[in-house]
Structure 1
Amino acid sequence: MTTFNAPGPASGPAPARPGRKLGPIVPSVGSSHRAWLEPTRERYLSSGRTLNDLSFHVLLAKSKLSELLRGIGHYPRWEVIHRLAVALDIPGWPLYRLWKQAALDAGKSRDWVDRSTEGTTTVATARSGPPLEHGALRLTVEEGYLAYAGAFLTGDMRDGAVEDAFAILWLSFDEALASPDIRRFAWDLLRATVKARADYRDERPVLGEAAFDTVALREESSAEGQAAQLAESLELFAAISRLPDAQLDVMVLRYMCGFPPEKVSGLLGVPLAAVRSAERHAHRFLAETIEPPATEGPTP
């Protein structure tokens, strides 16, 4: 069986560089903007280059380049990001995909996106293949990722979230290879991408949409039975949404997606014992949270 437990080289301290330290990303930056900004910043910080040096290649004043890397000011045009990607040797296709999605989320029109990419799109967004390990991992986990995302999102939203997660993984692949387990690293990216787009109630992701496609509902033939099962499922899913992330992931994959424990272990990149432990704790929480259905008959 193919494993993806490549530790890669040990990561050392970031190279020292003269000048003022780059400040953090500002809190107002949205999740889709962060999806490409964070890996781009990491590439800059690990490159050893200075803002002064980089500004000559990006054709942007050092102060403006610093603002770009912190998410300050107007959303940047692709022609600027393209020059930054070339200077830092960042793969163009995944960066462009994430930049475009964030532009639309920021309220930019498709006409603005098209005008912003004039003269750079062909070179920068050509689909050169990702690393071989990336492709191998995707073949192994994509079905499970789509099933998990489908518990929170529907249609194009589901597909887009999974595609974006793989794009972020591509941009961060050196970091992924240096992590203890690439599958765990990739799963954390997927979860964050899906949760950023899910609907929320009481600060927890909503799972109710998935109730309409559970095995129990498909097997229940009568309208009355489906209505009762739906009400029970919605209560269960509301309780599941309150679980900690590790338990929530296991319960969604096990009982909403129908995967066996071994498959869940492979998707999450954690030991099988950790899956079984999370499942036990989740069952205990649900048993204490959900009231048993009322029984028929006279009350004594």
Structure 2
Amino acid sequence: MELRQLEHFVAVAEDCHFTRAAKRLHIAQSGLSASIRSLERELGAPLFLRSTRQVRLTAEGQALLVEARKTLAAGDAAKGAVAAVRGLLRGTLSVGSLQCLHAVHVPALLAGFVREHPGLEVSLRHGGSGDLIDRVRTGSLDIAFVSRPRQIPDEVVVSALDREPLVLGCALDHRFADCDEVKLQDLGDERFVDFTADWGTRDLADRVLAEAGVERRVALEASDVHSLLDLVSFGLGVALVPQSFTVKTDRVRFIPLAGDVPLWETVAVTADPTGKAAAALLAKVGPAGDSQVSSCVSA
């Protein structure tokens, strides 16, 4: 089994299409098909279910995909270790991030990192915290900037970046708009706007309200900050959001929470062990206020 064959396999698995994968790899489709057939013969198992319309992984293929990504990542790490001796970073770095963060301005961070390491090919993927953490765990991402998960997989390392309290966001004419603070227990009759289930602030809000004995209704879901705040501003519901959301709009009233205020935490997640490139990027990120901080926040 060769690394080249695993690269071919992963490309087909990700694209679910031989022609697209061949174009991405800059090889002939016939050569790609031959490489996959050779791998299947060596492993003694079919890796794909092929039809005229669709290519899907078999159970054996799904099992191989996790290990193939880890093996390719280890190969990149080996190349990187040799390059590091020469003071160079080469190979690839796959970064995941929430759409927008307060703790670090990802575009500015990557721009400076690419300038310092022109031999490194950097890619970026946006998504929810749960999905991005799982991609680090399975080897398809090297590092991800996300909200702290409730449970941390054994295969990853979590580095804290920043913490901030949650506040209540409501419309300007809401009954809480003139309050100095609001108790979580007073939110039982409220309709909520929130992010979808895979997003970190949704998970935190669900947990802290449940602990406060509040059974809430999430009437509308959004997948970005601006849409969520627009829904709140029109009185379609209230939302528990990180404090840094307060700089995003003047059409929403933000009210501190009374008592033991829950904290929303931004973290960096890397594989265990952390690759050279991911470690170098993480070293560029200091605590919020000491690094390139964004005024935009996501879930």
TM-score (norm 1): 0.29
Going by fraction, where is strand more abundant, 1 or 2? 2
Higher helix share: 1
Question: Higher relative contact order at CA 8 Å, sep ≥6: structure 1 or structure 2?
Answer: 2
Give the TM-score normalised by the residue count of structure 2: 0.29
